[in-house]
Chain A
Amino acid sequence: MTTLSRPRLLAGATAVLLVASSVLAGGAAAHGPDPALSGGGFGQNQVLRFRWRAGSEPAAVIKTAIKAAASDANDTRASKAATFAYDSSGPSPIGYGAGATCGVNGLACFTRDVPDSFTMWFREQGHVFDWGTLKWCEAYTTPPNGCYDAENVALDEFGHVEGLGHHNNYDTDSDYGDAVVQTYSRTKPSSGYNKHVFGRCDVARLQIIYDMLNTSAKYSTCLDMSTVLTIAASSTQIVVGGSTTLTATLRVVDSDSYGRLGGNAVSGRTVTLQRRAAGTTTWYAVGTMSTGAAAGTYVLAQQPGADTEYRAVFAAPSNEGINGDSSPAVRVSVTGCTAVVGVMAAAILAPCA
């Protein structure tokens, strides 16, 4: 979708839309996509192959948890983020135990070597910190309260590898569930301790870094992006009885802050057509526009009997993080003559000039 050569929309229009967007957003500026780590992301859909570190292989239950977390990351990335796959000869080692380089207090840690590989470490079951003894839930048939879910912690680490920084929570941490990549890990039975899917604000940053899977995919509700809707008529001057096809195009505003999402065509949404008599101010609904041939386009044929203005409207959906927009109006003029369709018609009807 997005390329570096994509033409930019007018900066002024973008600024206006962004201001409008921030007003509509209700000032929730403190809450948003996870921060991005420096160093950028891996390639789109790049497969990152990991192996167990020789001499420091995780316990069997932890291996299972890590592999499950890799699948969780792949299944819930909702973007073209890199994917993870176990490969005994892969370039990215995952270790476990006493050699972990996670600092004094770390349960797990990672390093990134974009675009080639990563490393990951997990502390061993029973590791003694000065704040307590580590218990991985997976190490128990009936996990005790106070244990850490290794699959959740591993998903957090995979998120970091993708380029996600720790989520900035509200003061109350009431939004802890919006991200797996958190400033602290929770234990059983606290809310979110065993979350096995990326949170909406993890996904938001992944989408910004890596782009959407396709033009119909939903944007994370943790995003708050402006869209721009344009409209064109196949003919802006028709005769009575003639028709014109209105084509609307919906895109994400092309802002640098939107990363790879800026300028994306947005397909599969509900775009409606409105009309008004030329010279009047009241708009009337015409109907829902059909999906067009090109990505992000919506079409509807019309047969106006008099000069008419049309506009397209995209109402902000409640289930994704893009805002609504209305296109400028396009005017279709109708002339009183009749189109000539043949020799006999020309003899009977007054042809257009």
Chain B
Amino acid sequence: MSRWSVHRSVLLMLPAALLASACASAGSSGSTAPSAAVATHPPGGGVVTPSPARSAAATEPPAATLAAEGGDPVTGQLGSFTWGDGGSDSPWLPGSPISVGSGERLTVALADGVAVATWSAKRVPAGTTDGSGAVGLGTGGPPIAFDAPGTGPWSVQVTVDFDGGLGSASYYWLVSVR
């Protein structure tokens, strides 16, 4: 893909990203607001997602949610990313809490209609901060889906390469496997 076509793709997605970002920032209490929270079941159904994992800037990748089959999706913590002409570097994050059953199929969905080129998922024991000794949970092309690891608390990293050369991003969840 040429530079211009990549830029065109980014520009086409900008309005959606801006809208999503504006919505996200509406509930934000600032850049240091907690970005990890457990999904809850509000009265009347629907999903309450954690506080935003994105800043008010429209220069970030889309949010990503993880869900077990039939479960409520939880927005992941956004870690390192490259997006358009910029990017940010983060540690291995603890992740947004979510509770799933052992062996359940987990799926990750991206907001804003951004397409996935490739992805990989790996986990470390919760509390690990350097990623060493990580174990792969899956890799491939879309859709993003993998089996929950064994019983216990895990910090799960899902790294996504976006289609069209838009960039890449890592998302984190603190997965408690029953």
Binding site for B on A (CB under 8 A): 30, 35, 37-40, 101-114, 127-131, 146, 148, 153, 156-157, 160, 165-166, 168, 171-173, 176, 182-187, 190-191, 193
Contact = CB atoms under 8 A, between A and B. Distances in A.
A35 B169 CA distance: 12
B85 A111 contact: yes
A39 B33 CA distance: 33
A153 B89 contact: yes
Nearest to B136: A171
The 3 closest A-B pairs by CB, nearest first: A171-B136, A106-B88, A190-B130
Interface of B: 1, 3, 6-7, 31-36, 52-55, 57, 59-60, 77-82, 84-94, 120, 122, 129-136, 139, 157, 159, 161, 165-168, 170
A149 to B, nearest CB: 12
Contacts, number: 159
Contacts of A187: 91, 129-130
B55 A101 contact: yes
26 contacts: A38-B84, A39-B7, A103-B81, A103-B88, A104-B53, A104-B77, A105-B35, A108-B88, A109-B87, A109-B88, A110-B87, A111-B85, A128-B32, A130-B33, A131-B91, A146-B129, A156-B89, A166-B159, A172-B133, A172-B136, A173-B122, A173-B132, A184-B79, A187-B129, A190-B132, A191-B132
A128 B32 CA distance: 7
Contacts of B54: 103-104
A129 B85 contact: no
Nearest to B37: A130
A153 B129 CA distance: 16
Contact of B88 (A37, A102, A171): A102
A37 B34 CA distance: 30
